[in-house]
Structure 1
């Protein structure tokens, strides 16, 4: 089996997703998913309030009023409302360029709620921070675009994640092994057992299965494909009948404490 390495990148203005897939000759596929946030954009604002339930604030007019009164200097600010007020001029001026995706989403919810529940105060706020009327338009466009980008990233990432899940199985190179031919011929069956039990050198096919044997025992064939489970099932069934002593040696080698074999057999029993 030849080694290969493939790299798939999904980039945007704020997020890069990288998939590294490497297949090795021991039939294992190693998959690393790295999500690198903020490679192209530097987020400048603190994430201290990123977990704030902004929807609950918008739904409570009394709480929303506290923000309005602070922003318009009609009442003293709390620490929370002051934190937002101090950033608001720059956020409006730069169309939330330094906001992270969570902050953009929450700001959109806040502004939409403010416009819906307090339209007069919302317009007054726009005049206060954007007397020309151009900045809020750009801000609204940036926040809407951010929402669309996040949805598109989810759509684009889905097949990549599906590929990651698929890669968490052993190589299917030998899934077409004629297991019935193997178990029907005793010398061939013993040849596999001798390979697995370190009694003789392995051929290429036997080596592939042997390399996965320890993990397959330990994890009850969790990474096996349906075909591999069937192969394993028929192999163990016929070993039980035709080579019980060799099977006993196999279990002692790969499950010395007798913790895994019963679970393995149960896992592949219906394959």
Structure 2
């Protein structure tokens, strides 16, 4: 559940605010240290709670949440290059380390698995 916030944070950092021109999400949060958030449950959990509608939302998490579905459906079409890189990092982390959180996120934002399957196929690592 906490990892989903990370995914969201990633898609989150990538999908925060829409630019006035509508072509991209704002780059306001591009400098977020995604690795630090993924590794620290105290930082990760609030994002997850927000994205899953089970907790309060900080302004940046609320903005992220408002773009998650679109970013997932379009494979991050409106994301900056940094946001795309961060999003892949978060999703890869969730798929490979926080499977239950990834499932909850998919259940909420992609229940038919139309879009999340692409990420799973691309980012799942072989575990020995």
Q: Choose the corresponding residue for 2:19, options 17, 24, 29.
A: 29
Aligned residues: 109
Unaligned runs of 5+ in 2: 1-15
Q: Choose the corresponding residue for 2:65, options 210, 232, 249.
A: 210
What is the alpha-carbon distance in structure 2 between the residues aligned to residue 228 and residue 267 of structure 1? 17
TM, length-normalised to structure 2 = 0.73
Shift of 1:265: 5.6
Shift of 1:212: 1.0
Tell me, yes or no, if structure 1 residue 227 matches structure 2 residue 82.
yes
Question: Whose Rg is larger?
Answer: 1
Query: 1:263–1:240: structure 2 CA closer, same or farther, 3 Å change rule?
Result: closer
Shift of 1:231: 1.6
Structure 2 match to 1:262: 117
Structure 2 match to 1:247: 102
Contact kept, 8 Å, 1:217 with 1:260, in 2: the verdict is yes
Alignment of 1:131-150 (within 5 A): none
Alignment of 1:63-82 (within 5 A): none
Q: Choose the corresponding residue for 1:238, options 93, 104, 125.
A: 93
Shift of 1:204: 1.7
Structure with more relative contact order (C-alpha pairs < 8 Å, separation 6 or more): 2
What is the alpha-carbon distance in structure 2 between the residues aligned to residue 230 and residue 193 of structure 1? 19
Unaligned runs of 5+ in 1: 1-25, 32-166
Query: 1:252–1:201: structure 2 CA closer, same or farther, 3 Å change rule?
Result: same
Which one has a larger percent strand, Structure 1 or Structure 2?
1
- Root-mean-square deviation over aligned CA pairs: 2.4
Tell me, yes or no, if structure 1 residue 185 matches structure 2 residue 64.
no
Contact kept, 8 Å, 2:95 with 2:120, in 1: the verdict is no
What is the alpha-carbon distance in structure 1 between the residues aligned to residue 99 and residue 51 of structure 2? 14
What is the alpha-carbon distance in structure 1 between the residues aligned to residue 120 and residue 18 of structure 2? 21
